[in-house]
Amino acid sequence: MNAQKGTVYLVGAGPGDPDLLTLKAARLLATADVVLHDDLVPDAIVSLANPHALITSVGKRCGRPRITQAGIHELMIDSARRNLSVVRLKSGDPLVFGRAAEELNALREANIPAEVIPGVSAVFAAGATLQLPLTDRRTASKLILISGSHAADKTNPLPMWQGPLPEDATLAIYMPGRNLKTLAEDLRNHGVSADTPCVAVSSAATPQQTAVAATLADFGNLEPGHAPLLILIGRAMASMLQGKQDEATRQLLEASASALTPSPSF
């Protein structure tokens, strides 16, 4: 189905790999009259839009809005009322920390038809590329998603997490900020065990992806990659630490073997 006139589509662009777009997302992009996209949506995906579409970036850069949220609502509503089809292209999945609730409320109040097209959220992209199951019947039967970012008018926000993390849970923190030391201290002070495996994933499922891992006790000493950043915490992440231990063991064995190898005689 092509994009319909007068309708707004909240489309998930996924983590940035065009191959991870749904077929429906690609089809709507190719036929929409207007595309309003987040800054995190890469050019490779924006380039799939209808060549005759009006394309506008409405995202944020370093936390500074190029346009207010109310301004985005106005663009969507005005375009639809002019009988144009609109794709509101959002990174990841529109319904996971993507302000979809605010945008859908505005569209409903304006009596504008809307549809949501899901995308691959960062947590699933990170798990897939690192081959880290987010749930595992042996270690994790719960997946908890939280955001480190709060609405601007929210005063005295609660800590990101309070109390011990269930042993059978994986905690995913979106938009955690770059200060891993403060984050690790906050989690420990609020009950998360110091020996819990933690992974920081930067730019999940893109060519720029990086990942670092440690137990919570040492997590604050790591240097995270560039935004967008995602933190994964829980026993299901233990294989990342095992990989580090295996590499350290390999290097130690190589060093020992080198030290024991007799020097050649001449």
Positions marked active-site = 38, 60, 175
**Beta pairing partners, 12:** 90
Q: How far apart are the first and last CA of the chain?
A: 79
- Amino acid at residue number 120: V
Q: What share of the chain is helix, strand, coil (3-state, %, to 5)?
A: 35, 20, 45
The secondary structure element, H or E, covering residue 264 is none
Q: Is the peptide bond before 228 cis (omega within 30 degrees of 0)?
A: yes
Structure tokens at 143: 């997946």
Cα(105)–Cα(27) distance, integer angstroms:
25
**CA torsion angle for 225, 230, 232, 237 (degrees, to 10)?**
-50
Q: Return the number of other C-beta atoms located less than 10 Å from residue 241's C-beta.
A: 17
Contact 216, 160 (CB under 8 A): no
Cα(242)–Cα(16) distance, integer angstroms:
29
Cα(192)–Cα(163) distance, integer angstroms:
7
Structure tokens at 225: 């990659």
Cα(125)–Cα(17) distance, integer angstroms:
10
